[in-house]
Amino acid sequence: MPEMSLKDSIITSLSAQEPWPDNVKLFQPYEVEQILLPDNASCLAVQAFLKMCNLPFEVEMRWNAEFMSPSGRVPFIKCGAFVVSELEPIVQFAANKGVSLCSKLSTEERAEMRAYMSLITNVLVNAELYISWVDQDTYNTVTRIRNSSVYPWPLGWIQTRSKRNAVIKRLKALHWYDKTLEQVLADVEQCCNSLSQRLGDKDYFFGTPTELDALVFGHVFTIITTRLPCRKLADTVRRHVSLVALAKRVDEQYFKRA
């Protein structure tokens, strides 16, 4: 597609001229009252990625972050004149500025890394969405209350309904909605198995930290630290000791607010 590559190359050349500014802001929903499991995981993944790259940023919490984001999904960063949302485009954006974590990787390793990132976004993210929005218990006691906490009545009720419909539509399209909780957990189990097989006893997936480690950290850490009525997801992930160890390692190295 020539138009696409032209647009890409303009953005590349424009953004490459400027170095990473100091006043970069990362927008996300309120962590204590509002944020939901899937959003929290992706926000944490982006934060971990930026910290791994040593890029300075400030976290800014907004109740309407979701509606400010260009793609409708959180988190997003504002960097000079650019607004970029979600992990993959942000990684691309940083790479355009000459900051990359996978420059030492061979092309095959890079292909492998992209495949494992897909594994996470396809399995773990959908499982998180399933637990938060489809599992009745979790939806009634956690998701519904947190999601509507920032809106006045009856807007909260309407917004939660429409968001739930959107999530269910997505899960239906991907054939996740017809699964039972057991099938979802079996998929998660298989995904974690694949990840821990690949990780083996190394510190990071490819020796040094990459965006894959950031993504794994974001999801594993969020799943095991979020308290939900349905404990099964956390229990499934917690059984994979090497992944939990990786999450702790990243947390200690990059997030210890000493």
Binding site for another protein (CB under 8 A): 1, 3-4, 71-73, 107-108, 110-112, 114-116, 118-119, 121-123, 166, 169-170, 172-174, 190-191, 193-195, 197-198, 200
Cα-based angle 130, 191, 112 (whole degrees, multiple of 5): 125
What is the residue whose two structure tokens read 């349905």? 230
How far is residue 98's CA from residue 39's CA, in Å, rounded to a whole number? 28
Closer Cβ to another protein, 14 or 115, answer by number = 115
Nearest to 193 by CA among 239, 158, 147, 148: 239
How far is residue 213's CA from residue 215's CA, in Å, rounded to a whole number? 5
Closer Cβ to another protein, 17 or 107, answer by number = 107
Closer Cβ to another protein, 120 or 228, answer by number = 120
Min CB(197)–another protein separation in Å: 4
Closer Cβ to another protein, 57 or 217, answer by number = 217
Min CB(150)–another protein separation in Å: 21
Cα-based angle 191, 203, 123 (whole degrees, multiple of 5): 15
User: SS3 breakdown of the chain: % helix, strand, coil, rounded to 5?
Assistant: 65, 5, 30
How far is residue 174's CA from residue 126's CA, in Å, rounded to a whole number? 9
Q: Is residue 117 within a helix (H) or strand (E), and if so which, with residue range?
A: helix 107-119
Closer Cβ to another protein, 22 or 201, answer by number = 201
Q: Bridge partners of 206?
A: 208
Residues 240, 198: contact at Cβ < 8 Å? Answer: no
Min CB(21)–another protein separation in Å: 27
Closer Cβ to another protein, 104 or 172, answer by number = 172
Min CB(111)–another protein separation in Å: 4
